[in-house]
Chain A
């Protein structure tokens, strides 16, 4: 149980185009979803937190107009990288949590497999 999927697993796009990445909780309803970004050989950096039906909360330094997050349902959150540039190339990972999800009593985060974005 508590599986999170991401689609696509990798994407290559031209500079200036927009790319949408989906994050789905497959067997539980995720009240909160998180988006992280990981540069090569670096740590995961939290970009934003989204609660279903609410606007996302972005971390300092993350441009909300560039990284559009939608959490329209309890099983789906999307991250759209608008007007992508080569410096946006990275590994984007989502996680999802909900009260009682998984075997632990707290809001454990379950991670998706990540999406590799390459902007040419």
Chain B
């Protein structure tokens, strides 16, 4: 079974700072990787996903993530955060033929104006 580990449970940054949220997964087969965001009081929304091809994927709102197979990692990055990026961020993996997603515990990001 696959598992997902997010290193940081809480991150506090100032506006314009650069962001990197760590995500590692454990699964030996082919995986699909996702980052979801949940703004306060809202649904989970897909930020970006990796299935195959270019390991550097770009998502919405200026986010990107890099899949490093040798490190089993899929870290999320944004060069300059905004106050509106305050939210909960979840890394998720889909693999092994299962349809459901395995989520990490989430990272609560707070951006200070």
Contact = CB atoms under 8 A, between A and B. Distances in A.
Contacts of B102: 46
A43 B105 contact: yes
B100 A49 contact: yes
A44 B106 CA distance: 9
A32 interface: yes
- Which of A34, A44, A97, A109 gathers the greatest number of chain B CB atoms within 10 Å? A44
Q: How large is the interface on A (under 10, 10 to 19, 20 to 34, 35 or more residues)?
A: 20 to 34
B49 A104 contact: yes
B100 A113 contact: no
B67 interface: no
Nearest to A60: B1
Given A43-B90, A43-B104, A43-B106, A108 B99 contact: no
25 contacts: A32-B99, A34-B101, A36-B100, A36-B103, A43-B90, A43-B106, A44-B90, A44-B101, A44-B103, A45-B103, A46-B100, A46-B101, A46-B102, A49-B98, A49-B99, A59-B100, A93-B44, A106-B32, A106-B51, A107-B99, A108-B49, A111-B43, A113-B42, A113-B43, A114-B43
Interface of A: 4, 32, 34, 36, 41-46, 49, 59, 93, 95, 97, 104, 106-109, 111-114
Interface of B: 4, 32, 36, 42-46, 49, 51, 90, 98-106
